[in-house]
Homo-oligomer: A and B are copies of this chain.
Amino acid sequence: MNTTAFPRTDPHTLSDDGDALHFCTTCAFSQACLSEGMDKRALGELHVLVEHVGPLHAGDILFREGDPFEAIAAVRAGTVKTFVVDRDGHEHVLGFHLPGELVGLNAIDDDHYPCNAVALDTVMLCRFSFPKIAVLAAKVPGLQRQLFRLLSRDIGRAALLAGDWSADQRMAAFLLGLSRRLAARGFSPNRFALTMARTDIANYLRLAPETVSRVLKRFQDAGLLRVDRRDLEILDREPLEALAAPILRD
């Protein structure tokens, strides 16, 4: 276990193209794939170059910092955490990737992954060879446009948590962010599992784990939510939205 399962072709790789069309309705490329304008032959080519990888299990590593960059991946199920470890051994979580989202876009720049990626629970992936998808993007304007969009979106997302927000604001923005992204893929916006440890949340929000505990308790005591271990239910969105508004900018 804990071996790099992603860059290599996994023994469990599926190539079941019938199912692919079903899975893809919630994938990051769906807008490109399912758009009216997309050439039928090109759509076929995209589905041919995808490799289905998984299932990976909690703790399985997709890729390590410094690994040569070969592919990006769309999460079909589960949660992927990306992070770096500084020389003091402190972990900095860069992001959590939910179903339908992409992993590896930040590796394009220097041909090596600039971070580690690990599965937090049972994860299914669609793996796209980047050189191949780049070639296809040149032939399919809708796909190139979608790639540009997704890259651009990540620039903005990375900048969100950079502000000097309070612990309450950060936590509210984090929870609502999860809620919205899950809702966009058809999951319940008010009741979901925190697939990551408190420590992971802390390292993502740049807080101490103790502060994460305290804020969650404070929110629960205020009746904003109910939290039991990894199980979370949002009871009163309004105050959370108010807290998160300056961060989420809406």
Residues on A close to B: CB < 8 A? 84, 86-88, 92, 94, 105-109, 114, 134-135, 137-139, 141, 144-145, 147-156, 158-159, 161-164, 206-207, 245-246, 249
Contact = CB atoms under 8 A, between A and B. Distances in A.
28 contacts: A87-B245, A92-B163, A106-B152, A107-B152, A108-B148, A108-B149, A108-B151, A109-B149, A109-B150, A109-B152, A109-B153, A109-B156, A134-B141, A134-B144, A134-B145, A134-B148, A138-B138, A138-B144, A148-B151, A151-B151, A151-B152, A151-B155, A154-B155, A155-B155, A162-B162, A163-B206, A164-B206, A164-B207
A172 to B, nearest CB: 15
Nearest to A137: B144
A73 B20 CA distance: 39
What is the predominant secondary structure among interface residues of chain A facing chain B?
Answer: helix
Nearest to A140: B138
